[in-house]
Structure formats: structure tokens, C-alpha cells
Structure 1
């Protein structure tokens, strides 16, 4: 049995979907508001459930989600999770393509951290946790801006010198090209 895990790590929420044979077998999300965090779980054909969780559980949400998946029988063995797609919100043409998350990817992501401090640190934290919890799985960065890379140059480029645009990789990249 091969299961794919989709992850959307946001600044105030974390969303997880488990997919098997093209169908969703579980959706789980964590919503953080001030010092309160709520955990929601939706299983096919069942009512959505929710309950409060601690800030620590939120910080380690992947671990909590995997423990819940095992306890509820959604996943029999963590080895069954073979592929992971994680939403990547990061500026730069490098991130306009879906890519295997490897050392180069992490390096490039860390380079962009100062210009996207709301999105990149939680994403790096999530990637690190996922590598620890699911080392056997292939992890792919799903570009949130790939949808926008076909924008015509008149919409994508700023009115600055072309050589500066290319040298500093300054473009309108667009986000929210995927949803879950």
C-alpha cells in the first residue's frame, strides 16, 4: 500500500491530507489563533471532529498527525507513506518548478528566508520534522508560484533595468496557484 502525504505548512495553520489510490483517506488541520490551537480531522463519510491541542502539539503537528493516523487505523505502518508533497511559498525562479527536496533545495530555501520570513521558517521546520519522522519517503516541493510562471513579461517584470531583473531575480512571482 502506497500512501502520499500532502502538507501545507502556513504561518498560522498546518494542513495534512493522506491520499491512497487517488482518494483522500484523511484530512487533518491545525488552526492557531493567539494561544489557542484547534485540531480538525475529516475522514471519508464521517462528521468532521475537532478538539483543542497544545502549542507543543502544534509545533510538532506532523508527529501528532502521524500518531493520530496510526491510532485511528488510517495508516497501518508509517513505511506505507512513500511520497510527500509539501507546499512551497518562496520567491525566485528556482521555486517556480516542483522539485525534489534535497540539500540544494534546502540551501536555496535558506537563502530566501530573509525575504519571506512568514513562510520559509515554518516550511524549513516542517521539512526537518518530516525528514526525521518519515526518512523513507520521497519529498517533493510543490511550487505555489508555478501556476504563475507563464505570465507574460509585461505582467511579470517590474520597470527596472533588464540586467538588474536577471541579476537579482526580481519578478512578480504570484502565489496561491495551488489550493487544498
Structure 2
């Protein structure tokens, strides 16, 4: 079976076509600047070669249509007919409390998904555009929704509730939902396969560290806590997001700066984090260069960034009564050995012993980076959310 995975953002469409017979990626890529001037699609072929195709993409239906045409293109296409595609799996950001697992998309599911769109007003409508585009272009083709929030729906109430009046939860769904769930689910399962241990018996802390970042506590195969909240703003310090901040500081700044809610949200989501502290960039590679050049604010930002991750790792070890495995994944987690070293430093008290030399040599590959006598096994596991979406899609359609 061939399955197309779509991840539709507000101005982008990422895609990957899988041959699920051997779980190989036939082709992948992404449309960028959807609805803007200078739109284009980047295509990555199985042999690793890349091609950039300029094309006017005024909206998502046209973007999906053009991606379909590239899949069957005589020169760069990998299938002869769209009929070879058995289903489409979609990344859906926010399912609220309505979805605790992936589901086959139908009219009823889509209406429920729309009802929680106010929890993710930038992401959910964009996800839905991708679903509608496929329905228009290939009516009857099965589609599956895989939700970022679903994996975290096993959190207990004492973990996900905020200490605000309870009726705000009942009326408006104000609670912690968590995100990056598909990634946390994939790497927590994959690390157990990699180590040859039983998933349901382990206490695992997964660190998805990229431009956006979150940490999750996975106990006996279920998520029991995660760092992101009602929105992806809570938790770690991120590229442009503040992460945890005193609610009183928010209202204080609104008054001092004369900002409304939308302006304050923009400040915390797009102008804070690593970018806000350094004044340079949200790209950790550029921050590393600045640190090497002696920039003190860049060093401060890195110290803050790493400290937040360490705090959550320690907190989740305490919450679970111990930890068997720590996993680092996503762009920074897989490639920045300095961050992994800083997080694991001085954690011998909880059984963490990092192999510093081995850690330095690991970039984007599955590896154990702790010493053989470390009580906690520390690993790097590259995430593969697209494969997880494709696998969920295939498994649902087999039922």
C-alpha cells in the first residue's frame, strides 16, 4: 500500500509518499509560501537529490493539486497514476479532549475537529484545508487524522488541570493538552525496540528539542505528563517562544507596554525565547557561532535553554519515581551534542552517566550515549512523525 502523508500549515504543505510494503519513503518535499508571492515546492527524491520547482500557489487546494501532479510527473514523479495512492494521512494539531487516538476522517469527525479550532486558530483551519483539498481532488480516497494532542490524553487530571476556577475547564476546556505527541509516541516506542526492552515496563523521559520543544514523561506505555499546555507556548524556552512565564508578568507587561491580548501573544510566541534573549536569531546554529565569538547574551540564552530542559527532566523523574531511559530527538536534540551534555551534567545522583566522547560524535542517528554502567540509559533517536502517521493510517484501514 502507498500512503501519502500531508502536513498543512498556514503557508506551507509538507508531504511524503510511503511504500508501506517496506516502509520506504518514495519521495518527499514541501510547498512553501502558499498564498504569497514566490511560492515553490521542494522535492526530495529517494536517491537524496533535491529539486526546487517554482509555481504559483494561491491556496491549499492548488498546492495539493500541484503536489499530486509532481508525484506523477514524467521526470521527477515516482508513481504512474494517483490511483496507486491507497490513502492520505494528515497531521492534525489540536484534537482537544475529543480525540485520544488517530481516526478515519468523515463528516462527523470533521465537525468535531472544527469545534475545537478555537484552541488552535492558526493550525487547525490549515490542517482542515488539506483534508478538503484531497476530498475535492480525489473524492472517496480514505483519509486519516493523526492528532498532536492525542498521545497526551492519558495524562491524569492532577497533571493536566490548571489551578483556576474549575468551571473554566468545564465551559472552555482550559487545561493542558500538550503537543508533539506523535513524535513523543514514536521515539518512546522506538527506543524500546532499539534497546530490546518492553515498552510497557519502562519509565521514559522524551525530549523533543527543536525550534519548538517539549518534554514528556511516559510511564508503562502511557504519557503521564508533558511540558506544553493549552497551547504550544508553555514549558521549555524555545526559538521564539518564552515558555513558562508568570501570569502576573504577562498582565504587568500588558499594562506597561499598552498591549492587547493579540499583541501580547505575538510578543510571547514570536519575539521571545532564544531570539528575545540574544537579539540575534532563533537558530541554534547561529547562537553557537555567537557563543564561539564571545557573545555573552548568546551564552546566557544557551544556559537558560539547557537549564529549562534539565529542570523538566528532573521533575519528571521525580513524578514517575525514577527514570529508566532518557531520549533526545528533533533538530536540536538529534544534532547538538552540547545541549545533551549540558542537560545530563551533574545528574549522576539520579543514575545518569553520559559518555562524553561518544555523545560528541552523534548527529542524527540512533545511538546510546550513556556509559555501560549508567543506571539510566540515555539515547538519541531521530523522530519520524511522518512514518508514524503513515503507519496509523495503514493500520486503521486494515481494520
Q: TM (normalized to structure 2)?
A: 0.42
Q: Secondary structure at the match of 2:99?
A: helix
Cα deviations across residues 103-139 of structure 1 (Å, max 9, x unaligned)? 1111112222334221122222211110122224211
Give the one of 172, 177, 180 matched to 1:176: 180
Structure 1 vs Structure 2 CA RMSD: 2.2
Whole-angstrom CA distance in 1 between matches of 2:108 and 2:12 = 27
When residues 146 and 78 of structure 1 are mapped into structure 2, their CA distance, relative to the original with a 3 A threshold, is same
Which residue is 2:39 aligned to?
A: 37
The answer as to whether partners of 1:79 and 1:136 remain within 8 angstroms in 2 is: no
Which residue is 1:63 aligned to?
A: 65
Corresponding residue pairs, total: 179
Cα deviations across residues 28-47 of structure 1 (Å, max 9, x unaligned)? 20122853323100011131
Structure 1 regions of 5+ residues with no counterpart? none
Q: Secondary structure at the match of 2:116?
A: helix
Cα deviations across residues 47-96 of structure 1 (Å, max 9, x unaligned)? 11113321337652111011111113411111111121101112411133
Whole-angstrom CA distance in 1 between matches of 2:83 and 2:140 = 7
Note the 1:113-132 alignment, pairs <5 A. Answer: 113-132=117-136
Which residue is 2:197 aligned to?
A: none
- Cα displacement (A) at 1:98: 0.7
Which residue is 1:16 aligned to?
A: 15
The answer as to whether partners of 1:15 and 1:28 remain within 8 angstroms in 2 is: yes
- Cα displacement (A) at 1:164: 5.0
Query: Is 1:157 aligned to 2:158, yes or no?
Result: no
Return the index of the structure with the highest Cα Rg: 2
Give the one of 135, 138, 163 matched to 2:139: 135
- Cα displacement (A) at 1:16: 0.7
Structure 2 regions of 5+ residues with no counterpart? 183-384, 387-399
When residues 73 and 30 of structure 1 are mapped into structure 2, their CA distance, relative to the original with a 3 A threshold, is closer
Give the one of 56, 73, 79 matched to 1:75: 79
Which residue is 1:48 aligned to?
A: 50
Which residue is 1:108 aligned to?
A: 112
Q: Secondary structure at the match of 2:90?
A: strand
Which residue is 2:375 aligned to?
A: none
Q: Secondary structure at the match of 1:149?
A: helix
The answer as to whether partners of 1:26 and 1:42 remain within 8 angstroms in 2 is: yes
The answer as to whether partners of 2:102 and 2:147 remain within 8 angstroms in 1 is: yes
When residues 82 and 91 of structure 1 are mapped into structure 2, their CA distance, relative to the original with a 3 A threshold, is closer
- Cα displacement (A) at 1:177: 2.1
Cα deviations across residues 2-38 of structure 1 (Å, max 9, x unaligned)? 2101111112321111001211101020122853323
The answer as to whether partners of 2:95 and 2:150 remain within 8 angstroms in 1 is: no
Q: TM (normalized to structure 1)?
A: 0.87
Which residue is 2:251 aligned to?
A: none
Higher percent of residues as helix? 2
Looking at both structures, which has the greater relative contact order when contacts are Cα pairs under 8 Å and sequence separation is at least 6?
Answer: 1
Q: Secondary structure at the match of 2:98?
A: helix
Q: Secondary structure at the match of 2:31?
A: strand
- Cα displacement (A) at 1:162: 4.5
Which residue is 2:102 aligned to?
A: 98
The answer as to whether partners of 1:30 and 1:58 remain within 8 angstroms in 2 is: no
The answer as to whether partners of 1:96 and 1:144 remain within 8 angstroms in 2 is: no
Which residue is 1:25 aligned to?
A: 26
